[in-house]
Structure 1
Amino acid sequence: MRKLPSLRLRLVTVFALVALVAAVSVSGIAYWLTRDAVLTRAQNAALNDFRKSLGDHAGALPENATCDDLRGMAAAVANNTMNYQVVLVDDQSEGPICTVESDPTVFKLDMVPTALIEAVHERRDDDTPDAPYHLYWQRVSLDGDPYLIGGTRVLEGGPTAYTLTSLAPERDDLNSLAWSLGFATALAVIGSVLLAQAAATMVLRPVQRLSDAAQRLGEGRLDTRLEVRGADELAHLTRTFNSAAESLERQVRDLSNREAASRRFVADMSHELRTPMTAITAMTEVLEEEVDSLDPMIAPAVQLVVSETRRLNDLVENLMEVTRFDARTAQMVLDDVDIADQVTACIDARAWLDAVEVAAERGVIARLDPRRLDVILANLIGNALKHGGSPVRVTVTEDTRDGRDEVVLEVADRGPGIPEDVLPHVFDRFYKASASRPRSDGSGLGLSIALENAHLHGGEISARNAPGGGAVFTLRLPRDAGQPGETEADAEADAECVTEAEPDAGDVPRQRTATEPPTTAPASGGEGKETR
């Protein structure tokens, strides 16, 4: 789509075009009216004087006038204040045709157009019986100069007379008028441009102020207000903007307060649940160890209590992790990680070696947080195993195109794929693909936590369906997360809040107790979402 020019340029252009069209129209009309009036006045003056002078001198000719008589008449007629020349032709006598010119160097008979000669010799008794011959005229251009040629027959056997009058003075006057009108048109256009600039400035300055204020408002400065000036439409628009900004600030403040209260509630609830959950988890593990010695009627209930306790414990840990992401307090401990080793360690720690194929070359090193990378891998692979089925294939490649330096991990399964209506929501928190199955083994937070960890590294996770079937999750991480590592105390404090809550898929090793050393880097919960 072609980008339109600025509003100022469009206003100036419209003003200039309107002024140009108006000025050219007025100047053109004035020029043509003036031209017609000037030429008509000059033409009538020359022809009337020619007719009068011809009539005065024709009566003095003898009955059988000779060429000398005609020459004297031509000189007398040409002696006038209008500066026209005369040609007399005596073609009525019985002798040879006599043609005389008042000034042969200026005007000769062969300069008279043939059409004018024919018109002069044509009798028109039906129109005016008393004057069968009329005075005719024609404007011509000779050597680039304008002239008026007129002709008529002298009555009662007189000669035929032609006159040549120069229209150069009138042409010069009209050229001066044209230049004056052109100069006036240019001044009108320039004036309209200056006027348009002033009008655009008056109109656009408040619009620019409003635009700047809207930009500041969009940047989060909700206290932005504009000074109301005047009582016109722009002032009304400014009042409307101030009212909208005030309403927006009030609503955002209310939403922020509610969101902060919700985060505090979830954090406090999760924190308060950790102590009883630790005790409950220890007790359920003791019961699990003694399940073989319990009454067969009680054993299934014990197993249910154990599984649900683990699920509740994972949910609490996931909620605490989500709270850290929302509060922007999640930190990273960066280290140089061999991606292939990290993938293998993640799969081995969860006993997924028989269900996962790994296509990764050793030596692909990236500076990342190994614990958070383990969380991402556990959630993606666990989700693929749970919903897509084995074998799951994990591929590690490098992407250095267009100046990028990224590590790309793809987790592909052999399942039916993700429905198109579900695909945009796979990373949403607590999203369930089927409303008829609101309860699942997972909490619906695993993929969202994986995405948040990827964003923390400056990376991204995307999901798509493979052409041959199955879902493909693509993780892109920069080679260097570029963030300074947290202090040892911060790392210990952050790790203290995260236990090894594995994804609810595949063969999951027994959850460690508070006194057991972890077999791998601690990972936050990674429940697979019900996306298919």
Structure 2
Amino acid sequence: MRDASEGRVRGWLRTLLRLTSLRLRLVTVFALVALVAAVSVSGIAYWLNRDAVLTRAQNSALSDFRKSLGEKATTLPEGATCDDLRVMAAAVANNTLDYDVVLVGEQDTGPICTAESDPSIFELDMVPDALVDAVHERRDDDSPAEYHLYWQRITLHGDPYLIGGTQVIGGGPTGYMLNSLAPERDDLNSLAWSLGIATALAVIGSILLAQAAATMVLRPVQRLSDAAQRLGEGELDTRLEVRGADELAELTRTFNRSAASLERRVKDLSAREAASRRFVADMSHELRTPMTAITAMTEVLEDEVDNLDPMIAPAVQLVVSETRRLNDLVENLMEVTRFDAGTARMVLDDVDIADQVTACIDARAWLDAVEVNADRGIIARLDPRRLDVILANLIGNALKHGGSPVRVTIREETTHDGARNVLLDVADQGPGIPEEVLPHVFDRFYKASASRPRSDGSGLGLSIALENAHLHGGDISARNAPGGGAVFTLRLPREAQPPEDETAGAERRESAPAEGEVR
């Protein structure tokens, strides 16, 4: 179930990454450009066609109305009655354009009669007042026609109409016409739907083209990305086939040149590092034999120091201490070379942590300077020798640079995923570690000489302790306590996992490194 849920999470993450990918942005830009272009073209086409259709319909209706009204007005008798106007209205409305007519017979005193071709459709009250005023307004220019034909588009009962009006020259009636624009509206709606469908098809087509273009453009980029990932994972012989002569091909050539240069540099650095490790290992092994003889001689001298001349005794003591320091340095260098070469192994056993701490302190005569706060019975499966190395370095370091009493606290921890750990705090009573030194306390050969003037170590103890903690799957951290003093926290799993190719017998015969080092 857990693997399935993790697979779904990874799938969602990949989908999210695709949503923010360059491909999506490229397709989105193509689609937006196509949409803007299609909408602009369709809008312009629609408004041009709309104007043309409405203008043609209105000009046709108004022209026919003007012509028919003029022709029929000549047939009116002098002093035409309302019946004559109704006959004329019916005659004018009898047209192929299907518009209705209202005729108004007027005198100076006002309208005398209103004739409607179809009162159920078009009445005089439906004519806008603004149009009536415009029709009755005399023209002041030099045109021979005193009155002009005016028109207006209106909406009645939700449908568009064209309404026009004019006066017959020479004292004839005033005529108004009402022509429905519903057919033109339906034609324009059909045109709008067609343009909308065409716009949608254009956008879909642009998306497909953008997808094809993105695939073609991004395929080399994807190849470069995969090759860069393989290169980052250590496959330094990764190369790409150069295709074409465009910018992407030049980028591929640059990648191949960079990969080849990186491979050469890494090989050179690896060879130098291997040579340095062999040198340190060989030097350590070569020094071990003479150091054994020198150590034996210094032990003899140390035993006889009380019988020596008082002027010579201090020199002998210096030789003895420096010989021991040199011997510790050789042992530390050998331990470091094993870590670097990956040959360090563990021999696991069930260890009572409190007993191990007590044994480490007792073996080094630190019982009076170290306080242990721990319950018996906290058992962990660890390498006892390597745990002793860690404890000796941490406690010895605290005694050298922090001052006694050093307090060692052991406790248990259970993480959120159910893992059980052992935590061991080593706290001293010193001034603490300078903030600028804290990030470097586990670096090899690092010495904070300005703040630790009494340091006589090699700068390898804490580094070796950290490597041993990592070998168990644990870690060591350093911090300053709020009330003063430094605190080193060792975190080890209750069940350490040794390497599969563990060589136990050889490991038991290795000597322990120095018991204390500088921070």
The question of whether the paired residues in 2 share the 8 Å contact of 1:459 and 1:475 is answered with yes
Q: Partner residue of 1:482? A: 497
Residues 159 and 398 from structure 1, CA distance in 2 versus in 1: closer, same or farther, beyond 3 angstroms? same
Are 2:200 and 1:192 aligned? no
Q: Partner residue of 2:5? A: none
Q: CA RMSD in A?
A: 1.9
Q: Which has the higher contact order (CA 8 A, sep 6+)?
A: 1
- Distance of 1:526 and 1:182 partners within structure 2: 84
Residues 332 and 108 from structure 1, CA distance in 2 versus in 1: closer, same or farther, beyond 3 angstroms? same
The question of whether the paired residues in 2 share the 8 Å contact of 1:92 and 1:159 is answered with no
- Distance of 2:134 and 2:373 partners within structure 1: 106
TM-score, with length taken from structure 1: 0.91
Are 2:460 and 1:445 aligned? yes
SS in 2 for 1:409: strand
- Deviation by residue 1:328-355 (Cα, 9 ceiling, x = unmatched): 0000001111111111111111111111
Identity %: 82
The question of whether the paired residues in 2 share the 8 Å contact of 1:342 and 1:374 is answered with yes
Residues 148 and 288 from structure 1, CA distance in 2 versus in 1: closer, same or farther, beyond 3 angstroms? same
Q: Partner residue of 2:104? A: 89
Q: Which moved more, 1:326-335 or 1:342-351?
A: 342-351
- Distance of 2:236 and 2:37 partners within structure 1: 48
- Distance of 2:421 and 2:468 partners within structure 1: 16
Q: Partner residue of 1:53? A: 68
Q: Partner residue of 1:245? A: 259
SS in 1 for 2:55: helix
Matches within 5 A, 1:14-29: 14-29=29-44
1:275 is aligned, of 263, 267, 289, to: 289
Residues 439 and 416 from structure 1, CA distance in 2 versus in 1: closer, same or farther, beyond 3 angstroms? closer
Residues 362 and 128 from structure 1, CA distance in 2 versus in 1: closer, same or farther, beyond 3 angstroms? farther
Q: Which moved more, 1:357-366 or 1:191-200?
A: 357-366
SS in 1 for 2:134: helix
The question of whether the paired residues in 1 share the 8 Å contact of 2:227 and 2:238 is answered with yes
Q: Partner residue of 2:515? A: 526
SS in 2 for 1:395: strand
How far off its partner does 1:94 sit?
6.4
- Distance of 1:49 and 1:385 partners within structure 2: 117
Q: Partner residue of 1:300? A: 314
Q: Partner residue of 2:13? A: none
How far off its partner does 1:241 sit?
0.7
The question of whether the paired residues in 2 share the 8 Å contact of 1:332 and 1:485 is answered with no
Q: Which moved more, 1:435-444 or 1:461-470?
A: 435-444
* One-letter identity of the residue aligned with 2:137: E
TM-score, with length taken from structure 2: 0.93
Are 2:320 and 1:320 aligned? no
1:342 is aligned, of 350, 356, 362, to: 356
Q: Partner residue of 1:166? A: 180
* One-letter identity of the residue aligned with 2:416: D
SS in 2 for 1:65: coil
- Distance of 1:433 and 1:307 partners within structure 2: 22
- Distance of 2:301 and 2:183 partners within structure 1: 125
- Distance of 2:441 and 2:98 partners within structure 1: 101
Q: Partner residue of 1:157? A: 171
2:509 is aligned, of 474, 496, 501, to: 496
SS in 2 for 1:91: strand
- Distance of 1:299 and 1:286 partners within structure 2: 13
Q: Partner residue of 1:32? A: 47
The question of whether the paired residues in 1 share the 8 Å contact of 2:401 and 2:452 is answered with no
SS in 2 for 1:88: strand
How far off its partner does 1:493 sit?
2.0
- Distance of 2:385 and 2:236 partners within structure 1: 38
The question of whether the paired residues in 2 share the 8 Å contact of 1:445 and 1:527 is answered with no
- Distance of 2:218 and 2:515 partners within structure 1: 55
- Deviation by residue 1:252-282 (Cα, 9 ceiling, x = unmatched): 1011111111111111111111111111111
- Distance of 2:110 and 2:201 partners within structure 1: 66
Matches within 5 A, 1:105-116: 105-116=120-131
Residues 14 and 94 from structure 1, CA distance in 2 versus in 1: closer, same or farther, beyond 3 angstroms? closer
The question of whether the paired residues in 2 share the 8 Å contact of 1:449 and 1:526 is answered with no
- Distance of 1:262 and 1:279 partners within structure 2: 26
How far off its partner does 1:128 sit?
4.6
SS in 2 for 1:402: coil
Q: Which moved more, 1:356-365 or 1:273-282?
A: 356-365
- Distance of 2:483 and 2:107 partners within structure 1: 112
- Distance of 2:345 and 2:110 partners within structure 1: 128
Residues 73 and 486 from structure 1, CA distance in 2 versus in 1: closer, same or farther, beyond 3 angstroms? closer
Q: Partner residue of 1:257? A: 271
Structure 1 unaligned residues grouped into runs of 5+: 499-522
How far off its partner does 1:437 sit?
8.3
Q: Partner residue of 1:353? A: 367
Residues 208 and 438 from structure 1, CA distance in 2 versus in 1: closer, same or farther, beyond 3 angstroms? farther
* One-letter identity of the residue aligned with 1:479: R
Are 2:214 and 1:214 aligned? no
- Deviation by residue 1:9-62 (Cα, 9 ceiling, x = unmatched): 111111111111110011111111111111111111111111111111112211
